[in-house]
A and B are shown apart, each in its own frame.
Chain A
Amino acid sequence: MALTALICDDSLLARNQMKKSLPGAFDAEIVTATNGLEALNVLRSQEIGVVFLDLTMPELDGVGVLEAIKAEKMDVFVIVVSADIQPEMQKRVMDLGALAFIHKPVNTDKLSAVMRQYGLI
């Protein structure tokens, strides 16, 4: 069965950019969330293989999502896709269990490199 991937970003443009940038070899069903709370609802209600997670969002930010994933021991790969590129922020999300950190704006090259590294494509 194909994997389900969750794209979580408050911007429609960013969600569309993400969808369009996914490598063709990535065989997954895509679901979306527009903030951290929505993302957690999705994660709690269905099997998600990988999350592409924005950090700066209303309601609940990406760090909050990572904290919940860790606390609830959810089995999911998280790839952070963020405009907040400060080294301290990168360290923080990696310490919280994110698999990789991609600087916005996202593109297929950046995504492919990371996804190949972790065997997602």
Chain B
Amino acid sequence: MTDLSFTEEQRDCLQELINVAMGLASDKLARFLNTFVHLQVPAIGLVSAAEIPEQFRGQYQGLNSSMISLGFFGDGGLRGETILLYQLDNAGKIAALLGYDDDATSEAEMLTDISSILTTTFLNGLADQLENSFSYAAPRIISSRDSDFISKLEQTAFHWQLALKVDIRYELTDYSFDCNMILLIPGEAVLKLKTILDHVLAEF
């Protein structure tokens, strides 16, 4: 079996690349919402994709939560899928700030917009630093108010080997917005990512 684990140097490298990418996403969010975002060091964790549904069950089960999935495809076989998870109550506050009406049509639109700001900006920032460029599939809202959240997550995670969890807290001036971003990456892309990280590390 291929070793998908990361060395401490690789983990530190990835953490720093993620910090920079998060900075870009926060800056965009701050400008979009015309507020200030208090940035914290995001906690990252690398786990087997199969563990993901169980890890998030406690945090989201039974709550009105939403998942938005976005597939990304880079050069050299670097690809995967990101899932942005958050509670809809939080999203409602952002929707109000953005001036969306409170109905189902605009909810889908709003979730797609937030995903675009948080996820696409983040991934573009990450790709730049990896000297790669990503293209994206259309975002999918794979769970909403009334569906069985964990089984949806299980179905999605099933296709992948490794999950990079990034726990993010966006603290805005007036309230905080917790969300979790999960990067699901297939085994061969993990090897590619490790090679790229080694390349970055060798430069410095």
Q: Quick check: B36 and A105 within 8 Å, CB to CB?
A: no
Bound complex: CA A20 to CA B36 (Å): 32
Q: Is B40 an interface residue (CB 8 A)?
A: yes
Bound complex: CA A105 to CA B39 (Å): 17
Q: Is B127 an interface residue (CB 8 A)?
A: no
Q: Is B12 an interface residue (CB 8 A)?
A: yes
Bound complex: CA A13 to CA B200 (Å): 9
The size class of the interface chain A forms with chain B is 20 to 34
Bound complex: CA A82 to CA B193 (Å): 24
Against B, the Cβ 8 Å flags (1 = close, 0 = not) of A25-61 are 0000000000000000000000000000001111000
Q: Quick check: A83 and B23 within 8 Å, CB to CB?
A: yes
The size class of the interface chain B forms with chain A is 20 to 34
Q: Quick check: A56 and B41 within 8 Å, CB to CB?
A: yes
Q: Quick check: B39 and A104 within 8 Å, CB to CB?
A: no
Q: Is A16 an interface residue (CB 8 A)?
A: yes
Bound complex: CA A40 to CA B101 (Å): 49
Q: Quick check: A17 and B204 within 8 Å, CB to CB?
A: yes
List of A residues within 8 angstroms of B203 by Cβ:
20
Bound complex: CA A16 to CA B203 (Å): 9
Add 9 more A-B contacts to A11-B16, A13-B204 (CB < 8 A).
A11-B15, A12-B9, A17-B204, A56-B23, A57-B41, A83-B20, A84-B27, A86-B27, A86-B30
- Give me the 8 closest cross-chain CB pairs, A-B, nearest first: A83-B23, A11-B16, A16-B204, A83-B20, A13-B16, A13-B13, A84-B39, A88-B36
| 10 A-B interface contacts by CB (under 8 A) | A12-B12, A13-B16, A14-B16, A56-B41, A82-B23, A84-B23, A84-B39, A85-B24, A86-B37, A89-B36
Q: Which positions in A face B, CB cutoff 8 Å?
A: 10-14, 16-17, 19-20, 55-58, 82-86, 88-89, 104-105
Q: Which positions in B face A, CB cutoff 8 Å?
A: 9, 12-13, 15-17, 19-20, 22-24, 26-27, 30-31, 36-37, 39-41, 129, 200-201, 203-204
